[in-house]
Structure 1
Amino acid sequence: MIRLSAIAAVACSLSLAVLNTPKAQEKAQEKAQEKAQEQTQAEGCPRLISSTQPRVLPAAVSVDELALTFVGHATFLMETPAGLTVATDYNDYVKPSIVPNVVTMNRAHSTHYTNHPDAGIKHVLRGWDVGGGAAVHDVTISDMRIRNVVTNIRDWQGGTDYAGNSIFVFEASQLCIAHLGHLHHELTDEHLKQLGRIDVALVPVDGSYTLSTPQMFKVVQQISPQIVIPMHFFSQSTLRRFLDMAREQYPVEISQTPSVVLSRQMLPIRTKVLVLPGR
């Protein structure tokens, strides 16, 4: 959807004499659209309103919704209104029951990636560059945009593997979802700028392998999402430790099912923690 302010800014720059002809009006509108699109794409987590044509939708998810299922560990399965399926931190141990169209991976441990993804997966997005350097992803597949924000991880010798992993951001149905992956450090201002507005954060809460619980809460405060969904907690006792601290700051909701249908309409005014059961 084109911003009215952007259209007005361009329209005001045109002379009234030129606007008198239909052809000139059409050309002015096209310029306004281009300017608005450039401005939107420069922002973090853009495309808040879909500009695509109406389409036939699967019965389970409407045009303004996104289905999210916690498979387990750090793997979530998302389904868009167009039927696109995406799995996070796809690996050989914890897998969704279907072969997804798209998978993302991080390489801190083998439970976050695989060297042998299913041949039926059409798009494999790794959070690290196998050739060295930083991975760069910004792709639109069907009705979802997927991009990454590079992070570092600790290596097995206690050093730093620069640009070893990524936070993946998924944009669909007017929502921006960030999977923090195997995050090993707090975020910089540049990270936050690249992330942009985040509605739902999928957060590792193990308290040791990634970040300590207080450090992870600081990251949550940095991002300031509407919904925090814990993952990567290994045991119920680890999850309880995180939730005990969470209740000091945020309301906590315990779901009875591993799936939730997300939409902008259901987002809370203030941050809440939503716990989805998973293995």
Structure 2
Amino acid sequence: MEIKYLGHSCFRLKGKNTAVITDPYAPELGAFGKQTANIVTVSHQHNGHNFTSGVSGDFRIVYRPGEYEIGDAILIGVPSFHDSEKGIIRGKNTIFVISMDDLVVCHLGDLGEMLSESRVEELGKVDILLVPVGDMSALNAANAARLVRQIEPAIVIPMHYSMPQINRELEPVERFLGEMGVAGVTAQPKLNVSRGNLPLPTQVVLLEAAV
């Protein structure tokens, strides 16, 4: 699987036969370029996460909790909240667990709450965790690091943090890297990963925004 970071909470997961775009964002936040997909996931209905018209191709949109089998991918939408007050402030969020090419990728969306042990168990064994770290409307660096240790993925990729290309006031990714004890990680343009090359223990991978 090839994973590219397109900025904010948007990634392109490209498997052998299926491409998934997560949380595409509207032009007023930035531009993620011309992208095609078979599946587009939307964690919640906000213009930073639901600009599906910016994606090309004959794709299916998945935006609700439930189980979906599309092509050779299986997606499970897990209900959660966009804030620590059970959604009173910002509403609901959907976590997506995507199984494809013998790998399990979990995209937390704009998760704003810590997860209970039972909810973590519902996610199952996660190989690659895509976690928001920039605070403001989602997890801050400290809580993101706590959640990573709770889920114990093989690879964690931070998202939803401050960057020049994205018009959002968020905290810098360096705070999360410091919480994880890996300050000084070098960003790479993409990640190619398979079941056979998953690291142990958890490895933090920082991706350049390909925008």
Q: Please classify the TM superposition score into its range, dividing by the shorter chain length.
A: 0.7 to 0.9
The separation in 2 between residues aligned to 1:123 and 1:112, in whole angstroms, is: 15
Matched residue, 2:167: none
1:139 to 68, 76, 96: 68
Does structure 1 residue 106 correspond to structure 2 residue 32? no
Higher relative contact order (CA 8 A, sep 6+): 2
Higher-Rg structure is: 1
Q: How far is 1:76 from its partner?
A: 0.3
Please show how residues 1-279 of structure 1 align to structure 2 within 5 Å: 66-82=1-17, 84-93=18-27, 94-107=31-44, 109-114=46-51, 116=53, 120-126=57-63, 135-154=64-83, 159-160=88-89, 164-235=92-163, 238-247=172-181, 253-257=185-189, 259-278=190-209
- Letter of the aligned partner of 2:113 in structure 1? H
The separation in 1 between residues aligned to 2:135 and 2:199, in whole angstroms, is: 26
- The one-character-per-residue Cα deviations of 1:60-84 (angstroms, maximum 9, x if unpaired) are xxxxxx11111111100011112x1
- Letter of the aligned partner of 1:114 in structure 2? F
- The one-character-per-residue Cα deviations of 1:75-126 (angstroms, maximum 9, x if unpaired) are 00011112x1110002323435222111011226311113756574420111
Contact 1:73 1:232 in 2 (8 A): yes
- Letter of the aligned partner of 2:188 in structure 1? Q
The separation in 1 between residues aligned to 2:69 and 2:81, in whole angstroms, is: 25
3-state SS, counterpart of residue 11 of structure 2: strand
Label 1:177 to 1:142 Cα distance change in 2 as closer, same or farther (>3 A). Answer: same
- Letter of the aligned partner of 1:231 in structure 2? M
- Letter of the aligned partner of 1:200 in structure 2? I
Q: Which runs of 5+ in 2 are unaligned?
A: 165-170
- Letter of the aligned partner of 1:185 in structure 2? E
- Letter of the aligned partner of 1:139 in structure 2? Y
Quote the sequence identity (%).
Answer: 28
- Letter of the aligned partner of 2:176 in structure 1? F
The separation in 2 between residues aligned to 1:229 and 1:119, in whole angstroms, is: 25
TM, length-normalised to structure 1: 0.65
Label 1:183 to 1:108 Cα distance change in 2 as closer, same or farther (>3 A). Answer: farther
Give the RMSD, CA atoms, in angstroms. Answer: 2.4
3-state SS, counterpart of residue 72 of structure 1: coil
The separation in 1 between residues aligned to 2:99 and 2:203, in whole angstroms, is: 20
The separation in 1 between residues aligned to 2:206 and 2:13, in whole angstroms, is: 16
3-state SS, counterpart of residue 205 of structure 2: strand
Q: Which runs of 5+ in 1 are unaligned?
A: 1-65, 127-134
Aligned residues: 199
